[in-house]
């Protein structure tokens, strides 16, 4: 599972499945339960779909870059640098999740959505970015960098 192109494909599939689960299957729950002043729940659901999709896309893109980088022969000789790179990519995802949550907040400033819901959206975005990146790189990293993701 750590060979190209299987690792790229599996990562894209897992990303797509998670996006479908949170954007569609849980989309109604996430958009109908918060208090909305003027916006229709369908409009909020549309926003969430796009923002969750952006999170998944960056995570998959980061993971694919990691797979490409890790499959290069020279990386065998620069594992400490590779470990730094992985950490940078991972924490960049956290920043992206935070940024996307801020975007949801800005887009719905006038709606009076409870703070708890923004925390829920942040949690989901962390899952779709950092967690997705960690899981896919934990499972599918090329041999050379397979022991770099946290917990391995």
146 near other proteins, rule: CB under 8 A: yes
The two structure tokens encoding residue 127? 């899952």
Of the candidates 145, 150, 5, 19, which has an alpha carbon nearest to the alpha carbon of residue 72? 145
Q: Which is nearer to other proteins, 48 or 82 (CB)?
A: 82
Whether the CB-CB separation of 145 and 86 falls below 8 Å is answered with: yes
Q: Which is nearer to other proteins, 28 or 72 (CB)?
A: 72
Q: Which is nearer to other proteins, 13 or 76 (CB)?
A: 76
151 near other proteins, rule: CB under 8 A: no
148 near other proteins, rule: CB under 8 A: yes
Residues in 68-127 that interact with other proteins by CB under 8 A? 73-77, 79-80, 82-83
57 near other proteins, rule: CB under 8 A: no
Of 48-56, 102-110, 128-136, 137-145, which segment contacts other proteins by CB under 8 A? 137-145
38 near other proteins, rule: CB under 8 A: no
147 near other proteins, rule: CB under 8 A: yes
Query: Is residue 34 within a helix (H) or strand (E), and if so which, with residue range?
Result: none
Of the candidates 104, 19, 103, 1, which has an alpha carbon nearest to the alpha carbon of residue 60? 19
- CA gap 26, 8 in Å, rounded: 26
Task: Give the CA count within 13 Å in the CB-facing half-sphere of 77.
Answer: 2
Whether the CB-CB separation of 140 and 3 falls below 8 Å is answered with: no
* Residues lying near other proteins in the complex (CB under 8 A): 73-77, 79-80, 82-83, 143-148, 152
């Amino acid at each position: 599972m750590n060979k190209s192109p299987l690792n790229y494909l599996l990562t894209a599939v897992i990303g797509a499945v998670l996006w479908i689960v949170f954007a569609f299957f849980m989309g109604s729950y996430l958009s109908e339960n918060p208090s909305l002043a003027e916006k229709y729940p369908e409009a909020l659901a549309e926003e969430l779909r796009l923002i969750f999709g952006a999170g998944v896309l960056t995570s998959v893109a980061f993971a694919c870059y990691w797979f490409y980088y890790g499959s290069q022969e020279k990386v065998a000789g620069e594992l400490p640098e590779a470990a730094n790179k992985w950490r940078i990519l991972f924490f960049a995802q956290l920043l992206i999740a935070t940024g996307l949550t801020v975007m949801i907040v800005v887009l719905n400033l006038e709606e009076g959505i409870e703070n708890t819901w923004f925390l829920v959206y942040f949690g989901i975005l962390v899952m779709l970015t950092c967690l997705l990146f960690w899981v896919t790189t934990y499972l599918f990293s090329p041999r050379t960098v397979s022991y770099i993701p946290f917990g391995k």
